[in-house]
Structure 1
C-alpha cells in the first residue's frame, strides 16, 4: 500500500547532507518520492510498504552516518 511518512532526520547539517539522504533513499525499490525540509529537520518519504519498510529506510540512512527517527 502506498504511504507517506515524515521522519525526523538528525545529524544532517547542510543542504548537501539532505541531498545525499534524498538520493540514497530514492534508490530503494518501492520508494516513489522523497522531499525534505531542512528547517524542520524532516524528510518525507512516499513509498510502497509492501516493497520497503520504515526500518529498511532507517537502515540505509543510518549507514550514511545520520539518524532517522521512525
Structure 2
C-alpha cells in the first residue's frame, strides 16, 4: 500500500546533507518521492510499504552517518 510518512532526521545540518539523504532514499525500489524541511529536521517519504519498509529506509540513511527516527 502506498504510504506517506514523515521522519525526523538527526545529524544533517546543511542543504547538501539533506540532498544526500534525499538522493539515497529516492534510489530505493518502492520509493515514489522524497521531500525535506530543514527547519523542522523532517524528511517526507512517499513509498510502497509492500516493496520497502520503514526499517529498510532507516538502514540506508543510518549507513550515511545520519539518524532517521521511524
TM-score by length of 1: 1.00
CA distance in 1, matches of 2:30, 2:61: 16
Say if 2:18 is the partner of 1:18. Answer: yes
Q: Structure 2: which 5+ runs fail to align?
A: none
- C-alpha RMSD over aligned residues: 0.2
TM-score by length of 2: 1.00
Say if 2:6 is the partner of 1:2. Answer: no
Number of residue equivalences: 70
CA distance in 1, matches of 2:29, 2:41: 24
Secondary structure of 2:21's counterpart equals: helix
Secondary structure of 1:4's counterpart equals: strand
Deviating runs (4+, > 3 A) in structure 1?
none
- Specify the alignment match of 1:31 in structure 2: 31
Q: Structure 1: which 5+ runs fail to align?
A: none
CA distance in 1, matches of 2:27, 2:50: 16
